[in-house]
Structure 1
Amino acid sequence: MIDPETRSARLSITLDSGPPFRFGALVISGLKKYPEEIVRNLATFAPGEPYAAEKLDVFVRRLNGTGYFASTQVAIETDPVHADSAPVTVRLIEAPNKKISTGLGFSTDTLYRAQLTYGDVNVNGNGLRFDADLRAEAKIQSVVVRFTLPPQVPAYTDSFPMSVQRTDIEGLRTKDLMLGWRRQSADPRDQTAYSTAFYYSRQMPTGAEPTQAHALYFEIGRTWRSVDDLLAPTTGSVFNVQLGAGPPGASTRVFGRGIAQFAWWLPIDRTTQLELRAEGGAVLVDSRHDVPSPLLFRTGGDTTVRGYAFDSLGPREGNATVGGRYYALASAEITHWLAPAWGLATFVDAGNAADEPRGLKPVYGYGVGVRVRTPIGPFRIDIAYGQETKQVRLHLSIGLTF
């Protein structure tokens, strides 16, 4: 109501959100090669649960992540008549079984890259996936082969990776072999992973004697994600812990290993956020020479301590930086979004890797950067100064580190 005499207006608004919705049964169409159980096993909800848009989004990401489908559309029935048990329609277009791709790229960590991948998402006619990845980078060359079973109830996936890798980083050359099994649960907000792998590693540091080690390694890991957005958080936290061991007889020497990682996002105002990160790890063994190189720690680079070269921080042996038994790092970063799609950041990183806890003297890197929001997480362009080396480095990275 508008009153011209008093030059005032009264506005009355009535909101009717309608009844609360609950998920009903899945209605699946478009399947020819795969059984419906594959789709049902990826569902992030059960009939009768309260509706949540994020559960549908995660369901779509799971379906797309299998490689089985070229197109995925998921929608809930919006008619209030069905609010107590709203059917969820899943429309699928199956993808071709086989795919070959090639690519060229550049990373500020490992420099130039050429890549060839081959995948078959239905090797045996029942959804067994096969992936092969051949990668040649300036510092790392690798071949990775993986078989992945169809998702199972209760919402987990088994995979069997095999890899051969050669590296030449900071004076340390390595040749590594890995054969393993991994089981990972599907819920990204509370995710558990079990793995068993056999490692064989040969380490050849410049100016020192080569060593070799092997291990049958068992590990359990768990990740809790309490964030507003799984790919680009602005508030909340993520905590990851991994515990593993190499048993006697099957390993060069008995050892234990643990890693803990924590990240926290704090909004300062509507356009500014603070990100804090801390992590550390330890390998409990008398000598690092008895542990395969991939299970030891080096740090420095795009996603750890900016301002330093990739894996350049760690114990010295001869003229090489080698993996240590301990590492720790921390980071603080403030991002101010100047527009919905991009912003500016300033940060401080600190960390190191060492062979003894008392050797974990932190080195510092700090700088500024640009942030760009993308569908797979923030893209970062950073200029960082390494206080220890007194050098300025460019760093490029995308997505979350864990």
Structure 2
Amino acid sequence: MKRLQGRARKIRADKIAATFLTIAAVFCGGWIFVSSAQAFEIFGYKFFEGDQPEVVNQVPDPLPYTATITVSGGDKDLEKALMETSQLIQQEDTPPSGSPGLISRALGDQQQLIALLYVKGLYGGTVNIDIAGKSLETAVEAGEVSRRVTPVPVVIRVETGPQFHFGTVSVRRQASDGVPAETLDPAKYGLVTGEPALSDKILQAESRIVSDLKDQGYPLAKIADRSVVADHATSRLDVAISANPGPPATFGHVTVQGAKRTKVDFIIRQAEIEPGSRYDPEILRRAAKRLRDLGIFASVRVIEADRLDTGGSLPIMIEVSERKRHVIGGGGTISSVDGLGLEAYWRHRNLFGEGETLSLEGSVGRIINGDYGAMEYSGQVVFTKPGVFGPATSFSATLGAKRENPETYESRSVYGSMKLTNRPTDKLTYDVGTEVEYSRESDALGTGHYALFGVFGNITYDSRDSIVNPTRGFRATLHAEPAYDAETGGVMGFTKASLSTYWSLNGSDRFVLANRIAGGSIISPHLADIAPSRRYYVGGGGSVRGYAYRNVGPRVAGEVIGGRSFFETSTEIRTRITETFGVVGFVDAGAAYNSQFPDFSEELKVGVGAGLRYFSPIGPLRLDVAVPLSPEKNDPNFAVYVGLSQAF
């Protein structure tokens, strides 16, 4: 039996730590052969799986047993947690090796269950384990257990005892380098007198104390002393924590390890860790993220020295592992309306040793029933160079050609663009650039040639917790572009904005409410001056599901011609049923307008539907079915969409 006894006995870490027996017999003579993975698995099915060698898992002298657990004083949630923690329960179908193996498993179980009680603030709890009718202590002394009855009965009895609450709590910062000692507010770190005394709260408080001191420029900060006293008579836990900040420091010399093709001075420039500046762990975090975002490293570690140099500075080492320079990739989408879409790319990473990327990209879309005349295709070359005006700014240039062929128009074009992208924070991105596009386009208004020159700017703020499966936060975008068309002589201005929000309706993110709203405007006196591919349309995946792609908008003789403004909104309720599967219900609505700003003169088209989600390691796989409530020419009765990640 393990129990905290006495009126005011200190809880020491060595009393909480597990005291496992090391019994060689558990491991001697046992072996496991596991073959390497040779298959691709999805939805529980394996593909391309070759013959697998037989897996051998032999344990000498296996001793079968049955385990039961009784909990006195706890609720159902605690009982469930104890059962999930107990290895005697969880590994009941895996017999240990003889008496030593069963005793070892029981000792480990006892310590783990006591630790769980401490996590719940139950410091007076006890855990007793009987093996074959004898206490665990007796079995340890004898070194064996009775096998007269097999499987051997194992009984775990847990008495939770009373809930402990925090009593007297103090947090103290020790003096350091002329800075006097200071008493800190325990409530700031989650330690409040009268609240349940969960052991995790103490550990989390210590971590936050050290983190705060490091944020203040003390890289060697640590917890110097901790006193935790349990008073069983009053069920109170008194806690006293003393933190040693250590000396303040500046950043020292920065070195790089693991770079092969990448230039060391480029890595140091991108990290932007200035020697001699005040130590700040946030600078190190941003440096690691900035290097990872380059896409040329398989791993990045920013390692702090464990001591200061003779000048009182902290040396920093950046350890990188480079990725393969050449990569080929591809993807696809499928829709019952738009058919099959395929895309592929070839990419050369780290072209000149400073993170440059050269990509050749191609795509084919609207592959519908073998109708090659309906197909869309594109090809482009993209060059990207990071760190052109400081670590946060990159340059990119694109040259390409494409054919677009939705139901509403046909366009063949060549285009080029250049832009600078700056990311001053993790959440904020903005870019400015220029583009030129020459196209020949046809729609219900006729055929024309267009030569567009534009200067554009974009701002994006993204606080989502995930790109592919967000559950909280929001994403806002704004695009503006004044442009001139040399063929038509038209001067115009394009604007577009969107906002997506995500709300977790419960603590476990099982229910998520997702909303999206978007709108745009084209300032131009005449619709005909605007290339059909540049006008605004609504409909299809990413817009109003259920309707044909770009098939919602002003019409001439029944044919959609696009508009000078648009409005869209979507709402989804996302429910995660299991760890693997989820369901979604959604409503989309939108319209495009002849006017330069949305005047809601056109009918707001609504699509409703539902979908399934399979949560794979790379993101949710999406299957949506949508129905248009007021379909028109070229719209289907329903539409099916398949893709990776949530719809927005």
- Contact persistence 1:41–1:154 (CA under 8 A): yes
Q: 2: distance between equivalents of 1:80 and 1:276?
A: 50
Q: How far is the alpha carbon of 1:185 from its aligned partner?
A: 1.6
* 1:90, distance to aligned residue in structure 2 (A): 2.7
Change (3 A) 1:3 1:253: closer
Distance change >3 Å, CA 337–CA 122, structure 1 → 2: closer
Which residue of structure 2 lines up, in the alignment, with residue 353 of structure 1? 592
Note the C-alpha offset of 1:262: 0.4
Cα deviation per residue 1:365-393 (whole Å; 9 max; x = unaligned)?
A: 11111223455544321111110127221
Shift of 1:160: 0.8
Q: Does 1:173 align with 2:419?
A: no
Aligned position for 1:203: 441
Match of 2:637 in 1: 391
Q: Is the 8 A contact 1:214 1:292 kept in 2?
A: no
What is the aligned counterpart of 2:385 among 146, 149, 163?
149
2:408, 2:550 within 8 Å by CA — same for their partners in 1?
no
The one-letter amino acid of 1:8's match is G
Q: TM-score if structure 1 supplies the norm length?
A: 0.84
Task: Mark the runs of 5 or more structure 2 residues left unpaired by the alignment.
Answer: 5-123, 127-158, 165-196, 220-250, 368-374
Matched residue type, 1:384:
A
Pair 1:293–1:123, CA change in 2 (3 A): farther
- How much does 1:224 deviate? 1.0
**1:118 alignment partner, one of 346, 349, 355:** 346
> Which residue is equivalent to 1:272?
511
| Kept in 2: contact 1:180–1:197 (CA 8 A) | yes
Identify if the C-alpha distance between structure 1 residues 7 and 155 changes in structure 2 by more than 3 Å, giving closer, same or farther.
Answer: closer
Partner of 1:334: 573
Distance in 1 separating the partners of 2:391 and 2:322: 25
User: 1:280, CA displacement in angstroms?
Assistant: 0.3
5+ residue gaps, structure 1, are none
Equivalent position amino acid for 1:129 in 2: T
Question: For residue 301 of structure 2, what is the aligned residue in structure 1?
Answer: 74
1:256-296 deviations in Å (ceiling 9; x for gaps):
11111001111211321111110000111022322234432
Residues 1:380 and 2:608 are matched in the alignment = no
Match of 1:34 among 237, 262, 267: 262
Deviation of the 1:329 alpha carbon: 0.2
The amino acid of 2:376's aligned partner reads: I
Aligned partner of residue 528 in structure 2, secondary structure? helix
More helix by share: 2
What does residue range 24-63 of structure 1 map to in structure 2 within 5 Å?
A: 27-40=255-268, 42-43=270-271, 48-51=279-282, 55=286, 58-59=289-290, 61-63=292-294
1:302 aligns with 2:302: no
Shift of 1:7: 7.5
Are the structure 2 counterparts of residues 31 and 252 from structure 1 closer, same or farther at C-alpha, using a change threshold of 3 Å?
A: farther
Quick one: distance in 2 between partners of 1:372 and 1:80? 48
**1:90 maps onto 2:332 in alignment:** no
Contact 1:60 1:72 in 2 (8 A): no
Shift of 1:3: 7.5
Question: In 2 relative to 1, CA 316–36 (structure 1 residues): closer, same or farther, beyond 3 Å?
Answer: farther
- Higher mean alpha-carbon deviation, 71-80 vs 239-248, is at 71-80
Structure 2 SS opposite 1:39: helix
Match of 1:363 in 2: 605
Amino acid across the alignment from 1:226 = S
Q: CA-to-partner distance for each residue in 1:313-354, whole Å, 9 max, x for gaps?
A: 123345643332111100111111112343211111100223
Counterparts of 2:259 and 2:539 in 1: how far apart (Å)? 47
Equivalent residue number for residue 161 of structure 2: 8
Q: 1:368 to 1:248 in 2, by over 3 A?
A: closer
Q: Which secondary structure does the structure 1 equivalent of 2:543 belong to?
A: coil
What secondary structure sits across from 2:536 in the alignment? coil
Partner in structure 2 of residue 282 of structure 1: 521
Per the TM alignment, residue 248 of structure 1 is displaced from its structure 2 partner at its CA by 7.6
Counterparts of 1:44 and 1:85, CA distance in 2? 15
Compare 343-352 and 244-253 and name the one that shifted more: 244-253
The alignment partner of 1:63 has SS state of: coil
Q: 1:49 to 1:289 in 2, by over 3 A?
A: farther
Gap change, CA 1:73 and 1:342, over 3 Å in 2: farther
How many Å separate the matches in 2 of 1:227 and 1:125?
A: 32
1:39 and 1:233, CA in 2 relative to 1: closer, same or farther beyond 3 A?
farther
Partner secondary structure for residue 289 of structure 1:
helix
Q: Distance in 2 between matches of 1:230 and 1:86?
A: 35
Separation in structure 2 between the aligned mates of residue 209 and residue 79 of structure 1, nearest angstrom: 72
Once the two structures are TM-superposed, the CA of residue 148 in structure 1 deviates from its matched residue by: 1.6
Contact 2:266 2:354 (C-alpha < 8 Å) held by counterparts: no
Tell me the secondary structure at the aligned position of residue 19 of structure 1.
Answer: helix
Maintained 8 Å contact 2:273/2:283: no
Give the 3-state SS of the residue equivalent to 1:148 in structure 2.
strand
Structure 2 Cα separation of the partners of residues 62 and 185 of structure 1 = 13
2:308 & 2:466 partners in 1: Cα distance?
31
Q: Residue 105 of structure 1 aligns to which amino acid in structure 2?
A: G
Displacement of 1:227 after TM fit?
2.9
Encode CA deviations 1:98-149: one digit per residue, 9 max, x unaligned: 4455x57342264224445333335556554321112222332111111222
Any residues of structure 2 matched to 1:176-187 within 5 Å, and which?
A: 176-186=413-423, 187=425
Letter in 2 for 1:228: D
> Residues 172 and 320 of structure 1 are in contact (CA less than 8 Å); yes or no, is this contact kept in structure 2?
no
Give, as a single letter, the amino acid of the residue that structure 1 aligns with 2:349: V
When Rg is computed on C-alpha atoms for both structures, the one with the higher figure is 2
Residue by residue over 1:2-46, the C-alpha shift from the partner in whole angstroms, topping out at 9 and shown as x without a partner, is 388x97246663433262245867643222222234434554987
TM-score (norm 2): 0.54
Distance in 2 of aligned mates of 1:372 and 1:76: 38
What CA distance in whole angstroms lies between the structure 2 residues aligned with 1:86 and 1:338?
Answer: 49
Q: Which moved more, 1:138-147 or 1:351-360?
A: 351-360
How far apart are residue 244 of structure 1 and its match?
1.2
The one-letter amino acid paired with 2:279 is G
The structure showing larger relative contact order (alpha-carbon pairs under 8 Å, at least 6 residues apart) is: 1
Distance change (3 Å), C-alpha of 1:56 and 1:276: farther
Q: Report the Cα distance in structure 2 between the residues aligned to 1:269 and 1:59, rounded to whole angstroms.
A: 33
1:134 aligned residue (341, 355, 362): 362
2:428 paired with 1:190:
yes
Closer/same/farther in 2, CA of residues 227 and 104 from structure 1, 3 Å limit:
closer
